[in-house]
Structure 1
């Protein structure tokens, strides 16, 4: 697999960070929750949010951004009503994947694997 250049990594990070605060707002996340999903301290998240072009994201942060943006997109495809798509992450879910918790609680565990699990669940619902 080809190594990503630092410039390309910075471009992708900036683009993701410009979109991510809108997702966090749509989902009704606190700054603390938004930072936790990205796997970063709140102060770093606030700095990145103010100046996404200057953010220095590593591969872990880029993966998290990609997963979160993919989850958001899947929800808006599966649930065309905006309010239904945006509140899905905060509604208790009977699927065994969530064990009666909300998808957000699962994603906030801090592990990338939990973001992957939610993304795969939604990809499966889309038939992927």
Structure 2
């Protein structure tokens, strides 16, 4: 699959007006993703693919001067990635939780690939599937 962001499901609509609260939430989401990626030892290029932006854009987003906003796709990605991080820490011990995304996984979803590689290749659908997979593990489904 392509490394470019998926088409925004609201792309035909007029641009959304975002409040100051939403802008603050976007900054919090970006900082949270930075922490998740640091824990997972995700490179800049990998992080950009997971967020659905170019490396250059991800580098700008990480800077303290960034004042942009996240689109719906990026917000969905952030929510799911943060949820994956939380699920891993609830399900596994600290050390395994942060290594899990880098480990080859023979589960039917991953086909022997590391979850990080699977999510990068599959974009938002793969990120959401990984989140559902972990939620099912935690719930015993």
Tell me the TM-score normalised to structure 1 length: 0.89
* Equivalent of 2:87 in 57, 74, 91: 74
Which residue number corresponds to residue 65 of structure 1?
Answer: 78
**Whole-Å Cα distance in 2 between the matches of residues 52 and 28 of structure 1?**
24
Larger Rg: 2
- Contact preservation (8 Å) 1:90, 1:104: yes
**CA RMSD, 1 decimal:** 1.7
Sort the Cα spacing of 1:11 and 1:18 in 2 relative to 1 into closer, same or farther, 3 A. Answer: same
Q: How far did 1:51 drift?
A: 2.9
- Mapped to 2, the partners of 1:60 and 1:25 lie a distance apart of 22
Runs of at least 4 residues off by over 6 Å: none
Contact 2:60–2:66 under 8 Å retained in 1: no
Aligned residue in 1 for 2:60: 47
* 2:98 is the alignment partner of 1:91: no
Paired with 1:65 and 1:87, the residues of 2 have a C-alpha distance of 19
Query: Any stretches of 5+ residues in structure 1 without a counterpart?
Result: none
Q: Secondary structure at the match of 2:121?
A: coil
**TM-score of the two chains, using structure 2 as the length reference:** 0.82
1:114 aligns with 2:132: no
* Aligned-residue offset at 1:53: 5.9
Distance 1:64 1:20 in 2: 10
**1 or 2 for the larger relative contact order (CA 8 Å, sep ≥6)?**
2
Contact preservation (8 Å) 2:37, 2:47: yes
CA contact 2:105–2:114 (8 Å) conserved in 1:
yes
Aligned length: 124
Deviations 1:69-108 (A, max 9, x none): 00000000001x2110000001111111100111111101
